[in-house]
Chains A and B, each alone.
Chain A
Amino acid sequence: EPEVTQTPSHQVTQMGQEVILRCVPISNHLYFYWYRQILGQKVEFLVSFYNNEISEKSEIFDDQFSVERPDGSNFTLKIRSTKLEDSAMYFCASSVGQGFEQYFGPGTRLTVT
């Protein structure tokens, strides 16, 4: 069964450093998303992406964040200058279309020290 994959599974970085989280969505899906989950809290939406552009973003997704689909398979989330409060699980998701189930990857645990 096709699935969303994410790398790395765990990333430790120092405050102020840049990180890139990588995702490979399901191959025939057209809509891509990033969510995050701070430990013990609910899953929060960050950004959605379709047709090579951002279609929606939350207030969390400020100028420090960017997304890119550099090729036909990868979808990346970049945090330019990490802060302690960026520590969280980051989930990538994809869906075949609007109003269809979003399939989530296993997540990348980001720890900012």
Chain B
Amino acid sequence: GESVGLHLPTLSVQEGDNSIINCAYSNSASDYFIWYKQESGKGPQFIIDIRSNMDKRQGQRVTVLLNKTVKHLSLQIAATQPGDSAVYFCAAQRNSWGKLQFGAGTQVVVTP
């Protein structure tokens, strides 16, 4: 069936290092992808998005890579800071329409 999943439930990273969070999706019709950050007790916060006609997009300290061949995307956070500690979700949208299908989330823990 259709699914969006993340490879690791928890990622521990030292402050200043780079973080890489991975996500796989199953539906080849998915053509719009978003990474969200969720801090405890808050709603998902938009980080960065990418459409299927691109394979890389960069924001401030974040980069999303999309590999449509293997249905995989990743979020890279450069120079991880304590404020980056949160749960990160990937979400996929099919045919650029309607609902977002979320993955299970990766908890990023930044250690000093």
Contacts and interface: CB of A to CB of B under 8 A. Distances in A.
B43 A105 contact: yes
Contact of A91 (B44, B96, B104): B44
Interface in A63-107: 91, 98-99, 101-107
A43 B44 contact: yes
Mostly, the A contact residues are: loop
A45 B91 CA distance: 11
Nearest to B46: A101
A107 B43 contact: yes
A4 B45 CA distance: 11
A45 B99 contact: yes
A40 B63 CA distance: 26
A14 B68 CA distance: 47
A100 to B, nearest CB: 8
Interface in B69-112: 89, 91, 93, 96-105
Contacts of A105: 43
Nearest to A105: B43
Residue of B91, B99, B103 with highest tally of chain A CB at under 10 A: B99
Given A42-B89, A42-B105, A43-B89, A98 B43 contact: no
Given A106-B42, A107-B42, A101 B49 contact: yes
A113 interface: no
Interface string A37-66: 000011111001000000110100000000
Contacts of A43: 44, 89, 91, 100, 102
Contacts of A102: 34, 46, 100
Interface of B: 32, 34, 36, 42-46, 49, 51, 89, 91, 93, 96-105
Interface of A: 4, 33, 35, 41-45, 48, 55-56, 58, 91, 98-99, 101-107
Given A35-B102, A102-B100, A103-B46, 10 more contacts: A43-B44, A43-B89, A43-B100, A45-B99, A91-B44, A98-B98, A101-B49, A104-B36, A104-B45, A104-B46
